[in-house]
Structure 1
Amino acid sequence: MADLTDYTGLVTSEHSQRPKFMSVVAALAQPMVDLMNLLGGMPDKFDLDQAVGAQLDDVGRWVGISRRVSTPLTGVYFSFDTPGVGFDQGSWKGPFDPDTGLTLLDDDTYRLVLRAKIGANHWDGTLESTAAILNSIFSPGDGPVTVHANAEPFGTGDGAASQYQLLYQGRPVYQVDSATLYRNDWQGNQQLYPTARTNIATYSEQLDLSAWGKAAITVTPNATTAPNGTTTMDKLVETATTGTHALTRNIFSTLGNTPYTVSAFVKAGERRYGRIRLGTNIGFVADAKFDLVTGKYTNSAGSPTGDIIHLGGGIYRVTVSGVTQEGATNLSGTGLYLHDLVTGGSAGGDAYAGDGTSGYYAWGLDVKEGPDLTSYISATNAPATITDYTLGPSGIAQLAVPPAAGASLSWTGDGDIYPSGTYVFIQDNQDMSMTIGVAGKVPSAVFLALLEGGYIPLKPEGVRVNFVIVTSVDGVPMFGFDVANQYVMGLDAGAWGTPL
């Protein structure tokens, strides 16, 4: 930008000290400076990105489209079954009343229309360049963006759906590089596994059956509410004898020198103390004591790892892990024990004098090969195996079991998403017609009306536009089978298209 001092500064010192002379120079030069600044600012005033109001109207005259456009009149004339224009609301349409009215576009919408018109002025007549021009108007981005998800939510269970699309900040992940999935439900937040896991303890919720060994106890079935909300939690009741009071299991065809993990859901009754134990035909491997009132957990034998997890409502999940002895062929003495004291039985071990009425509640015994506690698997008359999910490269997770209503799903890992924006695609119907699809961020209603009304003339001569279909959910691709990109996504990621 020119400044008066750029010129008055050129006056030599012989004359620059004379005020009247300098005033004359300034008076003569200032109009020229102002004119130079005016002319220098003209390009910005009429730049498409900066022009407003009358200047933008002038750009429209050069490009060849006005901001005053004819659009269909809606919500004016009487119509049945249309809210707002029924009896005593809508106006009767006479034979000479117009079907359209003039709409004055605001600057932002008009700027989009001008961009489309500029593209049309340079259009080569192909469908491919039509979509490219429309996408350049909305500038959705040049390509995919790599993201790192950390406990990123991607769905909520309804008890029926089992297929979900991975999301990052609500946008579909179309390419997955690595992912670990989690489910948060009545078991707490658990990692899900794409490999098979097996609960080898059959009848895991039917502890009263003869498959379970009962030492100086009886089992009252379905005595209270289980963690999953069903009335299937049994009660282990000590008999009025002196000895070890336990619910145990022998499981054959197990392996020696192999890690196993035992877990159960328990709740205090008259008894609050107990022990969970892992043993084999050779001897005990590991066990730990627990207190179902304070939530205290103490490793007491072997070199176990384990935990006690409070799930609410007084229910805990207790677990212990250990490595079986070399040569072991079956699990033995594995299960739950009752204690009358925090230190163990009255004699410091498992044995004590029962009273015939006291006990605690138990449900869902789970025995798996491996050193880590994983989510519970219900087993009936045979070992139960589950592969929690399969995950396709386009981010679609197929879960083996539909998550319970209200269960939240999340994931951690890396993948690619498309930038947020509006994506336009065109389908050639091969019959001199085409369909225009608008996915992602939904443009303004005025712009869509202009697109539908043909004010953005981007189609070959003689080709008709059958439909303009817009995503029904703002920011989301449209639904389609076997496709995963910024335009179309599958179940739980794409939205239904709505014809204009």
Structure 2
Amino acid sequence: MAQRACPVEGVLVEEEVNKVATQYREATKFLGLIRAYLAQSEDAAIKLCAVPDFFDIDTAVGDQLTIIGKWLGFPRCHCVCDAPAVFGFDCGPYTGPFTIAGFCAPGSTWLGCPPLGNSTLCIDDEETYRGMLKARRYQMLGLYDIASLQAAIRHVWGGTAQVADASVGSVILAPGRALTPHETAQLPIAFRVFPIAPGIRAMAHLGLGPIFGFGAGWSGFCEDAEFLCPTDPHTYTCA
């Protein structure tokens, strides 16, 4: 992209002053008045020229990034399915969609009987939101091919993310690493921004190891592989 040329202080003023008729060139008070008024317009033009730099998706922060999100139709806050933490023991890296809590954690319940409801979740972290907006660009352009989907999920989950499986009517996406508690909570939001064609069921595989299967690209019996176990990210509903 060509770099935008912004006005240099004094240049616009003198360009206009040079258009003054010859008979007024010696009228110093008149020229001073003209320069004073033109300087204000020039100052506004210089400042306005710099405004687009604050709305660069790669560098924008705060309100500017929020505005970009509104332009892309993807705000910071979303209504999501809210599930309380479930009771369990911490015995190594957990890759499921739930928050595990112990005996003394307030608000925890048994798996299978959590009261599901709706809550509002806002993406306050700038880099997380930036990554989702970059993924949203593919969605807005209707780029539903596998290569675009792969690029989009890596904007959100990083270079380990992959399209684990794609078949007729469904797709399974894998972060390829353990998600943080915040990322786990934001899973439904992430699936709303991925370029997945309408009518395609999207699931998440949250395992950490290579995936078991036969043929190229899959791991076998002796390679410490795990089964592909997709889970519903509850993108829009709690059901």
State the match for 1:374 in structure 2.
Answer: none
Judge conservation of contact 1:4–1:26 (CA < 8 Å) in 2.
no
Q: Distance in 2 between matches of 1:83 and 1:447?
A: 17
Letter in 2 for 1:3: V
Q: Distance in 1 between matches of 2:104 and 2:164?
A: 41
Q: Distance in 2 between matches of 1:51 and 1:16?
A: 48
State the match for 1:102 in structure 2.
Answer: 120
SS of 2:163's partner is strand
State the match for 1:111 in structure 2.
Answer: 130
1:48 and 1:27, CA in 2 relative to 1: closer, same or farther beyond 3 A? same
Counterparts in 2 of 1:398-413, with a 5 A limit? none
2:200 to 453, 463, 473: 463
Q: Distance in 1 between matches of 2:50 and 2:157?
A: 27
Counterparts in 2 of 1:172-187, with a 5 A limit? none
SS of 1:469's partner is coil
- Deviation, 1:479, is 4.8
Structure with larger Rg:
1
TM-score by structure 1 length? Answer: 0.33
Q: Distance in 1 between matches of 2:163 and 2:146?
A: 9
State the match for 1:90 in structure 2.
Answer: 107
Letter in 2 for 1:41: A
1:68 and 1:6, CA in 2 relative to 1: closer, same or farther beyond 3 A? same
- Deviation, 1:428, is 2.5
**1 or 2, which has the higher helix percentage?**
2
Gaps of 5+ in 2: 1-5, 19-23, 89-99, 110-114, 232-239
1:478 to 204, 210, 226: 210
Judge conservation of contact 1:4–1:29 (CA < 8 Å) in 2.
no
Judge conservation of contact 1:424–1:436 (CA < 8 Å) in 2.
yes
2:50 to 37, 41, 53: 41
- Deviation, 1:450, is 3.8
Judge conservation of contact 1:437–1:470 (CA < 8 Å) in 2.
yes
Q: Distance in 2 between matches of 1:63 and 1:114?
A: 7
Letter in 1 for 2:77: R
How many equivalent residue pairs? 201
1:64 to 66, 73, 88: 73
Q: Distance in 2 between matches of 1:6 and 1:498?
A: 65
State the match for 2:11 in structure 1.
Answer: 6
TM-score by structure 2 length? Answer: 0.61
Q: Distance in 1 between matches of 2:34 and 2:132?
A: 48
Q: Distance in 1 between matches of 2:197 and 2:39?
A: 55
State the match for 2:95 in structure 1.
Answer: none
State the match for 2:165 in structure 1.
Answer: 427
**1 or 2, which has the higher strand percentage?**
1
- Deviation, 1:119, is 0.8
Q: Distance in 2 between matches of 1:498 and 1:465?
A: 13
Give identity over the alignment, percent: 21
- Deviation, 1:67, is 0.7
